[in-house]
Amino acid sequence: MKCTGSCECGAVTYVIEAEMPDVTICHCGQCLRTSGHAWASVSVPVDTVEIAGTENLKWFTSSDIARRGFCTECGSSLFFERIGKNRIAIGAGTLTQPTELKTGKHIFIADKGDYYDISCDAPQYDFYE
Ligand SMILES: [Zn+2]
């Protein structure tokens, strides 16, 4: 399955050739702050993603295990990469619509913002599942 996507301004684009999993919505504090809200993503092998415009991509090392990729022009939150794991999460909102994907789960719900409830049938976990 081939999917494409981009940041808001189009300076960073990508093509994914992979089996697309369900969307995971992460409610951890890092995702809340870096995206402005819960961050929805799909996790695929790094080597299935081809990124163009990497000169406009800034990687922020957000923890010992991961880094997050942002567009330097428009600030879109595009990627979350597990360092050394061949896994990269792609911001689901940056995928070209229609994605025909569905939400599979919510994670780190104990850290979620206090200003919203999760009104969704997908399972909720207090950890990475
Ligand atoms: Zn951009």
For the chain, give every domain's residue range. 2-111
Taking the centre of ligand 1 as the mean of its atom positions, its distance from the CA of residue 12, in whole angstroms, is: 6
Pick the CATH number of 2-111 from 2.170.150.70, 2.40.40.20, 3.40.50.2300, 2.40.37.10: 2.170.150.70
Among the ranges given (13-17, 19-23, 83-87, 111-115), the one the predictor scored with the smallest mean pLDDT:
83-87
Q: Taking ligand 1, which is a single-atom ion, which protein residues have CB atoms under 5 Å away?
A: 7, 9, 11, 71, 73-74
Angstrom distance (rounded) from CA 91 to CA 76: 9
pLDDT digits over 70-121, tens only?
999 999 999 999 998 999 999 999 999 999 999 999 999 999 999 999 999 9
Considering the entire predicted model, what is its pTM?
0.93
Please state, in angstroms and as integers, the Cα–Cα distance from residue 120 to each residue in 21, 66, 106, 127, following that order: 18, 27, 9, 17
Taking the centre of ligand 1 as the mean of its atom positions, its distance from the CA of residue 56, in whole angstroms, is: 7
